[in-house]
Structure 1
């Protein structure tokens, strides 16, 4: 018995020697005292609302302070660049949307590499955009929209928040898939485009539900379809746009990224916590208000999704010659 205890003690001592000084087996990675979540859009936008809903529970779960810092400008590029060049210790994170990739596809002189400069952490949520028309068009189904567009090519107009926006890219992709010609009318902001569509000045618009909601409820704007590959429970009466545009699909997402080089154990810890937060009733309700749902991807799965989506948007930008200086 004595010899067995001696051997057991030696084995335990040997295992401790394999650990770094001061470390404990399965110890959680060190968390920064303060974490800043950079939102590359203005306060009040949907991404900002999500970041401010995520910050308090993330702070509680990590036992640290989490603040939200808005850095808008250049379709999200200014905020993303600040994070790409930030410290690699988990103290600075980027909460952004699919616009991160459409900007990368349409802006040839980005100050960072959208793949190499970031460590994907977690996807908070994803969901479809909606295609809607002015009620004054009289169009009530996706098939009627396609028929009207084919009857008079280039006559129907669609509004977006600007050149290279995700709405611009998605509508161009839809036009190709449906083999129709729509005329682009870029605006300075989605709200201005929506006002004109409600007034009948433009015909069509692809946007997120929260932007369209007030005019849908007023009856001045009519939703026709979702941009997701399949129908979604959030909008059970709306068919996927792919039903009239074979192969078309364009989900949007909100994700958290860290600067490349952030320690992998910390990225994994943040991934676990963010996935758990996104699944809470509070965050689920916030996402569902825009037709989105939580998406519990691993960092590796999110990295693959980013590469795939970027390739899609780069293809659209190249084929349509969409470039933003």
Structure 2
């Protein structure tokens, strides 16, 4: 026999069940396919860095939208991360957050180990751009880009290796401004470069504007200019190279090309050949997350400012990077980036 209290409980459970059934029926077939699945979310930055912060901030809203579990994974080598996603099952079970900038320069400079074609990637979207800025120590005697260009000795710039996207941006910066410069390689990641800058081993470095903003607040950087034609939203009062240095049409073209690659920024990709409906769902999940004011606020609390671009907009940036320079210009830039200042 069912008592009154039991009747109320059963009625409540029935109501809940009907609501859950209604919510489930409202899901798309792709959302139902993802329900309960595990998706490997690969970040090419280590724990505690900007990539890691973006990944961990995006996981909860994307999990909610996809009705799936996202597993944070680290793969510090960009080429290894790309190989992983390219060779993963074509079911949207692996997504990678990586530097689109490094991905493009490695491809265009024909670096060893590159086995991918950016045109064949499945782009989910851009999370943030990575405008480059010129940074020196707060105690440096260099107080402007003009000071650097007028130096009576070679200005020393720290970097990891000549395929690092910061080193090639440094080389382009030095070339278009006619700066006397030497790029010192071999530092163990950004932390090694920052240590060298603090100790006076190098005069400066080129860094992404969001990373630079963290170090400016910590009083470890002084930013002198943005490497590009438009100002950084992180440093709206800091001039661009184009505002300070007179540029020939040829040098302006090279600077614009390199700035366009930086604008590609931090991107998310998945396995080529993923079913269009699943790909669309992943794209909507990212867009939904980065348009959520709470997500944006959480990122701003970490001194990060997202700059979402959908897949179509991201593909346009990729195509522009691939076609903006003709073959002679591309070979010229390759020699500038990989040989000239070392």
* TM-score between both structures, scaled by the size of structure 2: 0.75
1:211: Cα distance to partner? 4.3
| CA deviation vs aligned residue, 1:66-87 (integer Å, no higher than 9, x gap) | 11111223xx111110101111
Among 293, 296, 307, the alignment partner of 1:284 is 296
- How has the CA–CA distance of structure 1 residues 163 and 188 changed in structure 2, closer, same or farther, with 3 Å as cutoff? farther
Q: Provide the residue aligned with 1:226 in structure 2.
A: 226
Q: Does 1:259 align with 2:271?
A: yes
- How has the CA–CA distance of structure 1 residues 57 and 316 changed in structure 2, closer, same or farther, with 3 Å as cutoff? farther
User: Which structure's residues are more often helix, by fraction?
Assistant: 2
Q: How does 1:1-325 map to 2 (within 5 A)?
A: 27-30=28-31, 31-32=33-34, 33-73=37-77, 76-97=78-99, 98-106=101-109, 108-110=111-113, 112-148=115-151, 151-152=152-153, 155-186=154-185, 187-209=187-209, 211-212=211-212, 216-217=216-217, 219=219, 221-245=221-245, 246=247, 247=252, 248-249=255-256, 250=259, 251-252=262-263, 253-285=265-297, 287-288=299-300, 289=302, 292-297=305-310, 299-310=311-322, 318-320=334-336, 322=338
CA distance in 2, matches of 1:161, 1:212: 16
| CA deviation vs aligned residue, 1:161-181 (integer Å, no higher than 9, x gap) | 322111111111111211223
Determine helix, strand or coil for the equivalent of 2:161: coil
CA contact (8 A) 1:52 1:68 kept: yes
CA distance in 2, matches of 1:70, 1:162: 21
| CA deviation vs aligned residue, 1:190-228 (integer Å, no higher than 9, x gap) | 111112212222112111345445653464532112234
* TM-score between both structures, scaled by the size of structure 1: 0.79
| CA deviation vs aligned residue, 1:132-173 (integer Å, no higher than 9, x gap) | 12344312122222222xx44xx1111113221111111111
- How has the CA–CA distance of structure 1 residues 286 and 27 changed in structure 2, closer, same or farther, with 3 Å as cutoff? closer
Determine helix, strand or coil for the equivalent of 1:295: coil
CA distance in 2, matches of 1:316, 1:42: 33
CA distance in 2, matches of 1:123, 1:286: 18
CA distance in 1, matches of 2:303, 2:331: 27
CA distance in 1, matches of 2:173, 2:45: 26
Q: What are structure 2's unaligned runs of at least 5 residues?
A: 1-24
Structure 1 residues 76-85 or 124-133, which shifts more? 124-133
CA distance in 2, matches of 1:227, 1:290: 20
| CA deviation vs aligned residue, 1:94-135 (integer Å, no higher than 9, x gap) | 111122223333453335313254211111121422211234
CA distance in 2, matches of 1:214, 1:122: 24
CA contact (8 A) 2:39 2:70 kept: yes
Determine helix, strand or coil for the equivalent of 2:338: coil
- How has the CA–CA distance of structure 1 residues 215 and 91 changed in structure 2, closer, same or farther, with 3 Å as cutoff? closer
1:283: Cα distance to partner? 3.4
Task: Count matched residues.
Answer: 293
Determine helix, strand or coil for the equivalent of 1:231: coil
Determine helix, strand or coil for the equivalent of 1:38: strand
CA contact (8 A) 1:131 1:205 kept: yes
Structure 1 residues 223-232 or 86-95, which shifts more? 223-232
- How has the CA–CA distance of structure 1 residues 232 and 135 changed in structure 2, closer, same or farther, with 3 Å as cutoff? closer
CA distance in 2, matches of 1:207, 1:311: 25
CA distance in 2, matches of 1:42, 1:142: 32
CA contact (8 A) 1:194 1:212 kept: no
| CA deviation vs aligned residue, 1:241-275 (integer Å, no higher than 9, x gap) | 32234433523511111111112222222212211
